[in-house]
A and B are shown apart, each in its own frame.
Chain A
Amino acid sequence: MTLTSGAHPVQQRADEGEFSVRIEHVVKQFTADGPIVLDDVSLDVRPGEFVSLVGASGCGKSTLLNLIARLDTQTSGTIETLGAPTLMFQEAALFPWLTAGRNVELALRFSNVPRSERKARAQELLALVHLERSYDQRPHELSGGMRQRVAIARALAQGRSILLMDEPFAALDAITRDFLHEELTRIWLETGMTIIFVTHNVREAVRLSQRVLLMSSRPGRIINEWNIGGHKPWRLDSPDVAHLASEITDELRKEIIRHAN
């Protein structure tokens, strides 16, 4: 396991200025007299990189993802992305009036895939998440983990190169989450997508990503980062995951305790 952390200057520039997402001095305030939710956040994400964002609840992780996805606009600063990103939530948010297959087809439709190709393509995408047999099932007939896999297939249907994930596995049980980690890694390696993964589960972040960013709360800033090498995903019970996770958790606790006073 290769690991570099706080010794390096935080928010270092990506090599040769090559980036998939470039965030520069972003500030976000929801109301003019309200609190500064994000304060001078800068971040470069390389193409194909898997980055996790961890931080206490309410520190502005979702806000940052929404800004990157252009669901909202920043108060100041710039966000550049290489193509439009797609975003997944904690809930799969599949449309309940459509079957699993039709949900994927709808995403293809809005991505201007010709009608004649949609069905076959949707079947391929469902096969990629091992759900080819669930094409005609309704979302309520699927388990939480299966729904989230359909949501992954729907996101992939958009053919975007950047995938933003906002605590996508937080509502799942441990066994299902464990499998989805392996699935996500496999899909990431197969597609070469850039992934920004938000979680408050430090172990999950360490296990999945090449780089873990720690955010502070009020105001939200990126205060530390860890580069993690090795194969992905790490076994959840690996001592290295445990060791690094406890190091990051300590930092996170310090950051939370700071707010107690």
Chain B
Amino acid sequence: MPTDEQISAEVRPSDLSQLEAGLDALETGGRQGPSVKTLFARALSPLIAIGVIIIIWQIIFYLQLQPDYVIPGPRQVWDALANQAEQQILWQSTLNSIRRAAQGFIIAVIIATPIGLALGLNSKLRAVFGPILTGLQVLPSVAWVPAAIIWFGLSDATIYTVILLGAVPSIANGLIAGMDQIPPIYLRVGQILGAKGLPRAWRIVLPASWPGYLAGLEQGWAFAWRSLMAAELIAVSPALGPGLGQMLDTGRTLGDMALVLGSIGMIMAVGILVERVVFSPLRQRTLRNRGLIR
């Protein structure tokens, strides 16, 4: 028969919480995010590559392998852009293009998110519409430019149609892929918590699929930007106002290779800038918050 010493088990809350506090402190070390210095270095590191490219380019230019009007040097390209800037065209074109792409992208997110959620949650809908979405994603959206011009003429509607057809399938497919990768235990916890319907979609399914969704958004942005450039390049009209695609087309019609290269450089620069300023920080933050990187 047991004696009282053996039944030791009365819990002494103060002891217990102190022991626990000790364990907790031992088991969780101080962890920090990256310092300002690392963040700065990370943002500036692409500049090194750009510097290297300009140096090689300058060397090729010095060698005079081709005449200047075929391969202009960095200096001439810079001057061509400066010339556009003086006429107020450069910044107007750049801002106008960014504004169009951003607006088109936001509309694409608003359209693609419910589509992705619906197809990701409902396997029957997905069996019917999933292949169409994939087909649209594979089709280069520049293929829609002629059709859009016939439907809408040389108007903003044409431009936005092409952006949407480029971005919506990528975003929706990214979201669906993200939903497929949700660990089933999160959905079971959701069920235990009593989550249903829209609150479930908003509070559990969307955040759980966020890494895939974010990849889709990033790809959707790239497609929106590319589609916009294709549309601006083809649908040139004073009614549409300036844009980087139009600037590129001006270079082509004038046979001004420096302006052509300058425009291409601007288009790439905007792409890199958006990745660095918007998507890269978002991605880093997501990974860090979820403990997927230090």
Residues of A within 8 A of B (CB): 1, 69, 71, 84, 86-87, 89, 91, 93, 95-98, 106-107, 109-111, 130-131, 134, 137-146, 158, 175-176, 179, 182-183, 185-186, 230-235, 238-240
Contact = CB atoms under 8 A, between A and B. Distances in A.
Interface of B: 1-2, 6-11, 13, 16-17, 19-21, 23-24, 27-28, 31, 185-186, 188-189, 191-195, 199, 203-204, 207-208, 210, 289-291
A179 B186 CA distance: 26
What DSSP secondary structure best describes chain A's contact surface? loop
Contacts, number: 111
B27 A146 contact: yes
A71 B191 CA distance: 8
B7 A234 contact: yes
Contacts of A140: 290-291
A174 to B, nearest CB: 12
A50 B27 CA distance: 30
Given A97-B207, A130-B17, A138 B291 contact: yes
A198 B95 CA distance: 62
* Among B2, B186, B291: residue with most chain A CB under 10 A: B2
Given A69-B192, A95-B208, A239-B6, A186 B16 contact: yes
A238 B8 contact: yes
A91 B185 contact: yes
Given A71-B188, A183-B16, 6 more contacts: A93-B185, A97-B290, A134-B24, A143-B28, A182-B16, A232-B9
B286 to A, nearest CB: 8
Contact of A230 (B2, B11, B203, B204): B2
Contacts of A176: 23
The residue in A97, A107, A175 that gathers the most chain B C-beta atoms within 10 A of its C-beta is A97
A89 B6 contact: no
